[in-house]
Amino acid sequence: MKAGAPGVFRQAPGFPAFLTDQQEKGSTPMPIVFHPQSRTFHLHNASISYIFKVLPSGHLGQLYCGKALRDRPDFDRLFETAPRSMSVCYFDGDDAYSLEHIKQEYPTCGAGDMHLPALDAQMPDGSRLLDLRYQKHTVTPGKPPIEGLPATYAEQDSEATTLTVTLADPLAGVTVKLFYTLFEQLPALARHAEIACTGQGPVQLDRAMSLCLDLPDSGYEMVELTGAWARERHVTTRPLAEGVQAVYSLRGHSSHHFNPFLALKRPDCGEMAGEVYGFSLVYSGNFLAQADVDPYHVTRVTMGIHPQNFRWTLRPGETFSTPEAVMVYSDRGLNGMSQTYHQLYRTRLARGVWRDKVRPVLVNNWEATYFAFNEEKLLTLAAQAKALGIELFVLDDGWFTHRSNDHGGLGDWEVDTAKLPGGLKGFAEKLNAMGLQFGLWIEPEMVNAGTRMWDEHPDWVLHQPGRRPQPSRHQYVLDYSNPDVVDFLYRRLEALLDGVPVSYIKWDMNRSISDAFSCAAGPAGQGEVLHRYILGLYRLYDRLTSRFPQILFESCASGGARFDPGMLYYAPQCWTSDDTDAVERLKIQYGTSFVYPVSSMGAHVAAVPNHQLDRVTSLTTRANVAFFGAFGYELDLTQLSPRGQELVARQVEFFKQHRRLLQFGAFWRLQSPFAHNEAAWMTVSPDRETALVGDYLILQQVNAGYRRIRLAGLDPSRLYRVTPLGSGAAPCGQPYTAGGDELMQAGLVTTGGSQAQHEGDFVS
C-alpha cells in the first residue's frame, strides 16, 4: 500500500441494495397518526418524528421535528406562546396568541406573521392578505407523483405513507394542499405544496415555497455546498446568526455556485455522530434555500423556487405544484444524513434500467482530441481502449457540421460526413464490431448564430425583440418554455438516434440563462418563463428516456452546473466537474457526497499535465480518486507508455471486479480534504463483508508523524483480511488480518512500511 492506496477487505460475490442500520435491525411499522381530540398529527418511524397540530385559530402549528418519539394522544406541552410587545394578536384579548411568534407549517402574508412567508400571492382586488386555515386531511399508502416534475417515489405502497392536509382561505379564493410523505425505513420526509385558485378571478403567485420548518432555537451551524466552475460543491460551514442566511441561484439552472441543499447541524456534530437536518430540493432551476433567525432565536427554514423573476398566474380552477423538497434527520452525524440521501436518491429517485446496473467503463475523446479528429483517429483510439478492457467509447463535441470550434453548428444537428463518412450509424457499427458500446455528446438547449435554426426561428431564442441577446461561449439559449421548441427538438433528436446503436448520451448545457424573455409567452407570462423552461426540459428528458429506455443518460452542464436531484430522476449520473485534476476532485467528490450517491458521479482519469491546472499526478492517484464514481478515462490512450498501458489495463480489471461495491455500497467519509493534508473515504458492502478504502496524501511532509485512519461501517465482531494495494490496484505489501473493532477504534495504520515518502506529492 502506497501511503494508503485503496485497500480491499474480503470481496463478497454479490449483494442486494444497501440497507440502513435500522433496516438490518428491524423497525416498527411506520404510522401517520391523527389524534382528533388534540388535533395533532404525528408522522413517525423508527428514526424520526414530525409533529404538528391544528391550532385554535385553524392554522397549522409546528411542535417537534427530530429523533423518534413514542406516540402520545397529545403533545400540547410543546406548543409555545408568550406575550410579546408590538405583536399583532389573532384573538382580541389574548396577547400571547400571535402568528408572528407561533411556529407554523406554511405561513402566509397578512395574518400577523411578520417573517418571510412560505406563500405570497396577489388576489384580483390587489390584496396580498392570506389566512389559510385547516379544512381536512387524508392519509394514503404509497406516494403520488407530481405532474410534470421529478420526485421521489415508492415502488410499493408499503414503502411510504402520504399525509395530505388541505388549507383554504375562501375570501381570497385560494386552497393549498400540503403533501408529506414519510418513508418506512428512512428518516426522510418529502414535502411539496399544491396551490389552487378557487375564486372568481386570477391569483398571482409571487412566492411559493416547497417546505417551511420553524425550529425552536438557532444553535446550529449551516452547511452549504458552494463554489464555481471547476471547483463545485465545496463544503462551507458557518454558525447561524440573527437575520437571513441563504444559498440561491438566479442563473436559470441550479448552478456551479450553490447547490440546492443546506444542512443545519449542531456545533458538536461531526461525520460519525451528532444531530443534523438536511434539506434538498428536487429541482434544476432558480432556487432559494434559507435559514431566517428571528430575535427570539427561532429558525425558519424555507426552500423552493426563487421568488425573484417568478410570477405565476393561476386562473379559476387552475393549480400550481411546487417542486419536492426532501428533509432528512440524522442523529448519526453527517455520514448518517448523507447515507439516507444516497439510498433514497439512488433507489427511489433515479429510475429506469440503469438505476441498479453497474456502469460501463468508458473513454471520452474530448481531452484526447477536442474538435480535431476524424474517423480514423477515433477508431485508433477506440481500438486501444478495447485492448485495455474499456467497454464504452463516447464521441464528444465536434461530430456535426460547422463544428471545428465552439463558434458554430449548435442547433442544426447534422452529422459531419467529412469526419464520419458513414454517419453516426456507420461509426457506431464499427465500434460495435470491435466489441465497444457507442456513446454520444449532445447540447440540445443551445444554438449558435448563423445556423439554419437561428435564421429560420429567431423567435425560438430567449431574447427581447429589439434588444441584442448576450452570448456566452458563442451560443444562445433556446426557449424551452415554448412547447413548439420542445416538440421540434424531440422529433430532431428522435430521428438522430433512431436506428443508431447508442448506449449512452452525455447531455450538456454550457452556459447560464440571460435575456429570459419568451416571444411566445406574451406580456403576462414572462414571470413564468424560467420555471416553464425547466418544465420543458423535464418534458423533453422524459420523452427521450421513455423512447430510448436502454440508453444511459448522463447530465452535464459545463461540468457540474446542474448537478441536482431533479436531473437524477432522468439521468442517473452526472458529469461531476470539468475539473479532472485528481487533487481538486478530492474536494469536489467529497462535497458532492454530502447529498449524492457515488453511482451518480462521473469521474474520469485525465491526461497530465492536467488541462485545467497543469498539475502532474500519477496515473495511480488519478485512478484511485476516479474509482469512487462512474469510472472512465478522458485522455489519449494511444500516447501511453507500455508501462502506462499495463497500469490502465489493471485499473480497468480492478474496477470491473469491484464496481458493484464501489458504486452501490455504503459510502463513508473518513477525513476531509478541506481540513487536512490527507483525505480518506471508504465504501462498505451491505453485508459488511467487504470494504474498499481510499486514502490520499496531498503534500509530502518532512520528517512527518505517524498516520492512521479510523474506519467505519464494518462489523466489529468480524476479522477482516486487509490487502494493501499499490500501482494499478495491484496488491503490495503483506496482507494481514484485523478485527472490525480494531480497524474502527484503533484505526488502519498507513505509515509503517509505506514508501510514500519517496514518491513525491499527491500519493494514494
**3 state SS of 540:** helix
Q: What is the largest CA-CA distance in the chain?
A: 87
Q: Which residues contact 657 (CB under 8 A, 6 or more apart)?
A: 11
Length of the chain: 764
The residue assigned the cell 441577446 is 469
Q: What is the pLDDT of residue 652?
A: 97
Distance CA 738, CA 10 (A): 12
Strand 203-215, strand 221-226: pairing: unpaired
Instruction: Give the three cell numbers for residue 520.
Output: 411566445
Task: Report in angstroms the alpha-carbon separations of 556 from 253, 284, 372, 562, 662.
Answer: 12, 12, 22, 7, 22
Please give the helix or strand (H or E) that residue 350 lies within, else none.
none
Instruction: Give the three cell numbers for residue 652.
Output: 480497468
Q: What is the pLDDT of residue 217?
A: 97
- Enumerate the β-bridge partners of residue 632: 362, 604
Scanning 361-502, the segments in alpha helix (DSSP H) are: 366-369, 375-387, 423-434, 452-456, 483-497
Q: Is 268 a catalytic residue?
A: no
**3 state SS of 604:** strand
Instruction: Give the three cell numbers for residue 547.
Output: 423512447
Q: Which residues contact 70 (CB under 8 A, 6 or more apart)?
A: none
Distance CA 580, CA 583 (A): 9
Task: Report in angstroms the alpha-carbon separations of 47 from 281, 564, 597.
Answer: 21, 26, 21
Q: Which residues contact 279 (CB under 8 A, 6 or more apart)?
A: 211, 213, 261, 262, 263, 264, 289, 301, 303, 325, 326, 327
Write down the catalytic residue from 169, 331, 397, 578.
Answer: 578
Contact between residue 280 and residue 260 where contact means Cβ atoms under 8 Å apart:
yes
pLDDT tens-place string over residues 649-662? 999 999 999 999 99
- Write the single-letter amino acid at 252: G
- Write the single-letter amino acid at 260: P
Cis bond upstream, residue 609 (ω within 30): yes
Distance CA 590, CA 670 (A): 10
Name residues of the chain where pLDDT drops below 50.
1-29, 753-758
CA-wise closest residue to 349 among 196, 152, 544? 152
Strand 203-215, strand 299-305: pairing: antiparallel
Q: What is the pLDDT of residue 84?
A: 80
Q: Which residues contact 484 (CB under 8 A, 6 or more apart)?
A: 460, 520
- Enumerate the β-bridge partners of residue 574: 555, 601
Distance CA 305, CA 480 (A): 18
User: Taking the CA of residue 152 as centre, how many other CA atoms within 13 Å lie in the half-sphere pointing to its CB?
Assistant: 35
pTM, 2 dp: 0.94
**Other residues' Cβ atoms within 10 Å of the Cβ of residue 373:** 18
**3 state SS of 78:** helix
Instruction: Give the three cell numbers for residue 178.
Output: 400540503
Degrees to nearest 5, angle at CA 634 with 630 and 635: 150
First to last CA, the chain: 8
Distance CA 48, CA 624 (A): 37
CA-wise closest residue to 563 among 546, 575, 551? 575
Q: Is 614 a catalytic residue?
A: no
Distance CA 728, CA 715 (A): 28
Instruction: Give the three cell numbers for residue 639.
Output: 500516447
Write down the catalytic residue from 169, 214, 508, 695.
Answer: 508
User: Taking the CA of residue 534 as centre, how many other CA atoms within 13 Å lie in the half-sphere pointing to its CB?
Assistant: 24
Instruction: Give the three cell numbers for residue 52.
Output: 404538528
User: Taking the CA of residue 167 as centre, how many other CA atoms within 13 Å lie in the half-sphere pointing to its CB?
Assistant: 26
